[in-house]
Amino acid sequence: MNTHNTIIEIARRAIKTQSEAISNLVKYVNEEFAEATETIFDLKGRVIVTGVGKSAIIANKIVATLNSTGTPAIFMHAADAIHGDLGTIQKEDAVICISKSGNTPEVKVLVPLIKNGNNKLIAITANKESFLGKSADYVLNAYVEKEACPNNLAPTTSTTAQLVVGDALAICLLQMRGFSSSDFAKYHPGGSLGKRLYLRVNDISSVNMKPEVLADDDIKKVIVEISEKMLGVTAVVENKKIIGIITDGDIRRMLSKYDNINGLQAKDIMSVNPKRIKAGAMAIDALELMEANEISQLLVEKNGEYAGVIHLHDLIKEGII
């Protein structure tokens, strides 16, 4: 049985093999890569990405990346294409075909059919001299010297290289389109990444209860307000303006300090100039402000008036953290 040291050495060797191969791809990015990218950028149709085996799995990921960064794309399995799915390709589409060898039987059948349709064909392959390489309008070179597999058989380094080439293509297109963080949020509205880019403080605080007391309110009312609104805090307001804050921590400190709390008012224990945030600010900004000040709540203002509370737990619930 392999020892831990042996396992660690094998893993490191595999990672090193792949990292060196990826670094080597830089020298293959040339004018042909730029021309292929411009062709996709100018498309009126979509990008159809195809492959077989492990390359088909990589094709699926490239499609997902293109779609999420503003380039419409569809996956088409090369084997299915020659058994009825060729209609996926429309006349204004371009096709990216991924194959390490460029000589698989499915590719040899599919490529002439694509060419017959006059669609631009872009190859991602490790073999420029293959059937695919010679047939394509553009070749994106994904050559690797060897697989991470010790038998040089299992697709490992080669599929990593294909993925990196596809990512490089997507990033070029993203920047050419001027694709912004707000655009990204449109395509990821339900995920934590999207929420970081579009969710605002008011979206969260407006559904919370709104604890507030006046400066002259007695301590019993303060305690009841904090307890009932369940946010661990209450704002102290005057003419709808924030003048202070009382947290459940302030209540505990008060009980430790005073033997008799009769006659105490909100103004006696409140903290003045509390941290606050505007209702229109991004939720991620609220998180950063909480982290910087090591606090769990922020009072929210809208048009200069007290508007509510945003709590750290709200941000956790929304997946911002």
Alpha-carbon gap, residue 102 to 135, rounded angstroms: 10
What mean pLDDT do residues 199-216 have? 92
pLDDT of residue 229: 93
In a domain, 157, yes or no: yes
Query: Does position 2 have pLDDT exceeding 70, yes or no?
Result: no
Question: Is 48 among the domain residues?
Answer: yes
Other C-beta atoms closer than 10 Å to the C-beta of 101 total 15
The predicted structure's pLDDT at residue 180 = 72
92 shares its domain with 128? yes
Share above pLDDT 70 across residues of the chain, in percent, rounded to a whole number? 93
C-alpha span between 6 and 12 (Å, rounded): 10
Residue 190 lies in a domain: no
59 and 168 both lie in a single domain: yes
Residues 269, 203, single domain; the answer is: yes
Assess if residue 189 is contained within a domain. Answer: no
To 10 degrees, the CA torsion angle through 13, 15, 20, 26?
Answer: 170
Last residue of a domain, one of 124, 146, 178: 178
Instruction: Mark whether 228 and 267 lie in a shared domain.
Output: yes
Tell me, what DSSP letter sits at residue 282? B
Answer whether residue 192 is part of any domain. Answer: no
Residues 116-150 have pLDDT tens digits of 989 999 999 999 999 999 999 999 999 999 999 88
* pLDDT digits 0-9 by tens, 28-59: 999 999 999 999 999 999 999 999 999 999 99
Residues 17 and 134 both lie in one domain: yes
Better-scored residue on pLDDT, 189 or 103 = 103
Check residue 238 and give its pLDDT.
94
Residues 298 and 244 placed together within one structural domain of the fold: yes
Span 219-241, average pLDDT: 94
CA 308, chain centre distance (Å):
29
Same domain, 286 and 219: yes
Q: Which phi and psi (to 5°) does residue 221 adopt?
A: -65, -35
Binding annotation: 77
The number of folded domains in the chain is 2
How do residues 151-168 score in pLDDT, each as one tens digit? 988 899 999 999 999 999
User: Where does the pLDDT of residue 190 fall: very low under 50, low under 70, confident under 90, or very high at 90 and above?
Assistant: low
**Residue-level pLDDT at 169:** 97
Average pLDDT value over all residues in the chain? 91
* CATH number of the domain bearing residue 254: 3.10.580.10
Q: What is the CATH number of the domain that holds 156?
A: 3.40.50.10490
pLDDT at 187 over 90: no
Percent of residues, the chain, with pLDDT higher than 90 = 77
Burial of 275 (0-12, 13-18, 19+ CB in 10 A): middle
Shared domain for 208 and 167, answered yes or no, is: no
Looking from the CA of 208 toward its CB, the CA atoms found within 13 Å total 30
Specify the pLDDT at position 297. 93
Average pLDDT, integer, range 237-253: 94
Q: Given this model, what pLDDT does residue 226 score?
A: 94
* Band (183; pLDDT cuts 50, 70, 90): low
- The answer to whether residue 257 is domain-embedded is yes
* Contact call for residues 160 and 58 (beta carbons, < 8 A): no
Mean per-residue pLDDT, 179-184: 69
Residues 167 and 240 in one domain: no
> Are 33 and 154 contained in the same domain?
yes
Task: Look up residue 246 and give its amino acid.
Answer: I
**Same domain (yes/no): 163, 245:** no
**In-domain check, residue 193:** no
State the DSSP H helix or E strand holding residue 133, giving kind and residue range, or none if neither: helix 131-135
- Indicate the residue type of 110: L
**Residue 21 in domain:** yes
What is the reported pLDDT for 193? 59
Q: According to the model, what pLDDT value does residue 142 have?
A: 96
182 band by pLDDT with thresholds 50, 70 and 90: low
Q: Do residues 145 and 221 both lie within one domain?
A: no
Band of pLDDT at residue 74, cut at 50, 70 and 90:
very high
Closest among 59, 101, 102 to 80, alpha carbons compared: 59
pLDDT at 228: 94
Q: For the chain, what percentages of helix, strand and coil (3-state, to nearest 5) are there?
A: 50, 20, 30
Q: Give pLDDT, residue 40.
A: 97
Question: Which residues sit in the known binding site for Zn(2+)?
Answer: 77
Query: What residues make up the domain containing 240?
Result: 198-317
Please report which confidence band the pLDDT of residue 319 belongs to, taking 50, 70 and 90 as the band edges. Answer: confident
- pLDDT of 189 above 60: no
Q: Using the 8-state DSSP alphabet, how is residue 82 labeled? A: T
